[in-house]
Chains A and B, each alone.
Chain A
Amino acid sequence: MNTLIFRTIAPFLTALMLVFSVFVLLRGHNEPGGGFIGGLIAASAFAIYGIAYGVAAVRRALWFHPMAVAGFGLFVSTLSGLLSILAGVPFMTGLWITPHLFGVEIALSSVMSFDIGVYLVVVGAITSIALALEEKESD
C-alpha cells in the first residue's frame, strides 16, 4: 500500500476530501448530504492520510485528540438544541437569523450548528476507531 505514488497523492487527496466533506455538510441543508455523511468523508480522509504516513502523523496533524473533537461536537449539538429555551419554544426548535453581509443574504440557523456538531462527532468517533485499527496493524 505504501508506495511512492500513494504517498505523493495522499496529502492532496486528504485535502480535497476534507474540502468536499465541508461542502457536503453545508449542502445537506436542502439537498442530499449532511453532517453524518460529511463526517464520514472527513474521517476516511484522515484514514487515508494515516495509511500513507502512519497514525502518529495523523494525530500530530489533528492536534486535538479525536475523542475531544467528538466531545466538542456533542457539546455544540446539545447547545444548539438548548438555544430554543431563550426563544420560548420547545427543545430542538430550529431558529433562524439571516444577516446581510456584503449584500448577500446568509441564512444561519441552529439546525446548521446542530449539523456541524454531528459532523464533528462523526469525524472524532470514526477517526479514533480507524486510527485504533491502523495502530493495531502496524505493531
Chain B
Amino acid sequence: MEFPLAILVGTFFSAAIYLMLSKHSVRMLLGIAILGNAVNLLLFTGGRLTREVPPIIGAGMETLPAGAANPLPQALILTAIVISFSFFAFLLVLTYRAYQELGTDNTDEMRLAEPKDEPMPPIGY
C-alpha cells in the first residue's frame, strides 16, 4: 500500500515545485499549498498503512492490536495541517494585498523594497 502513496507524494512534490518556479505569486501560493499537502501525505505514509486496524485499544485490551497503524504521525499531521492552514490563510491575504497595492503579481516586477536603479554609495567626500 505504501508504493502507490509514494508515487502520489512524488507527483505532489513535482507539481508543487513546478508551480513554485513560476514568477507569479498566485501560482507560487498554490505551489505552497500543494507542498503542504505533499508533506502531510509523506508523514502519513511514514506511519505505516494498514487496512481496517484502527489504532484503538479496545475494551479488555492492554495494548494496540497487532499490525495497527502508528497514530503519532497522524497527530503530527493534524498539527501540521493546522499550521499550514493558518499560514495559507495569511499568505492569501498578503498576496491579495500585494496585488492590490503593487498592481502586479509578477515577482520580477516587485522591486519596491530593492529598487533597480539604486546608486552606489559615495567613495569619499
Stretch at the interface among B60-68, B85-93, B110-118: B85-93
Determine whether the beta carbon of A129 is less than 8 Å from that of B90: yes
Kindly report which residue of chain A lies nearest to residue B100, judged by CB atoms: A136
- B102 on the interface (CB 8 Å rule)? no
- A36 on the interface (CB 8 Å rule)? yes
Q: What DSSP secondary structure best describes chain A's contact surface?
A: helix
**Measured CA separation A125–B78 after assembly (Å):** 18
**Measured CA separation A58–B90 after assembly (Å):** 21
- B72 on the interface (CB 8 Å rule)? no
Determine whether the beta carbon of B82 is less than 8 Å from that of A125: no
Given A132-B93, A133-B93, A136-B96 in contact, is the A36-B86 Cβ separation under 8 Å? no
* A130 vs chain B, min Cβ distance (A): 8
* A135 vs chain B, min Cβ distance (A): 11
Kindly report which residue of chain B lies nearest to residue A130, judged by CB atoms: B89
**Measured CA separation A38–B96 after assembly (Å):** 28
Determine whether the beta carbon of A129 is less than 8 Å from that of B82: no
- A51 on the interface (CB 8 Å rule)? no
**Measured CA separation A136–B96 after assembly (Å):** 9
* B108 vs chain A, min Cβ distance (A): 25
- A126 on the interface (CB 8 Å rule)? yes
The bracket for how many chain A residues form the interface is under 10
Q: Please tell me which one of the listed residues B89, B92, B100 contacts residue A126 in the complex, with CB atoms under 8 A apart.
A: B89
**Measured CA separation A126–B88 after assembly (Å):** 12
Determine whether the beta carbon of B93 is less than 8 Å from that of A125: no
8 A Cβ contacts from B92-109 to A = 92-93, 96, 100
Most A-side CB within 10 Å, residue of B78, B89, B92, B100: B89
User: Which residues in A have their C-beta under 8 angstroms from that of B90?
Assistant: 129
**Measured CA separation A132–B92 after assembly (Å):** 11
User: Which residues in B have their C-beta under 8 angstroms from that of A126?
Assistant: 86, 89
Given contact pairs A126-B89, A133-B92, A133-B93, enumerate 11 new A-B contacts (beta carbons under 8 Å). Answer: A36-B78, A36-B82, A125-B86, A126-B86, A129-B89, A129-B90, A129-B93, A132-B93, A133-B96, A136-B96, A136-B100
Chain B residues packing against A (C-beta within 8 Å): 78, 82, 86, 89-90, 92-93, 96, 100
14 A-B contacts (beta carbon < 8 Å): A36-B78, A36-B82, A125-B86, A126-B86, A126-B89, A129-B89, A129-B90, A129-B93, A132-B93, A133-B92, A133-B93, A133-B96, A136-B96, A136-B100
Closest 4 CB pairs of A and B: A129-B89, A36-B82, A132-B93, A133-B93
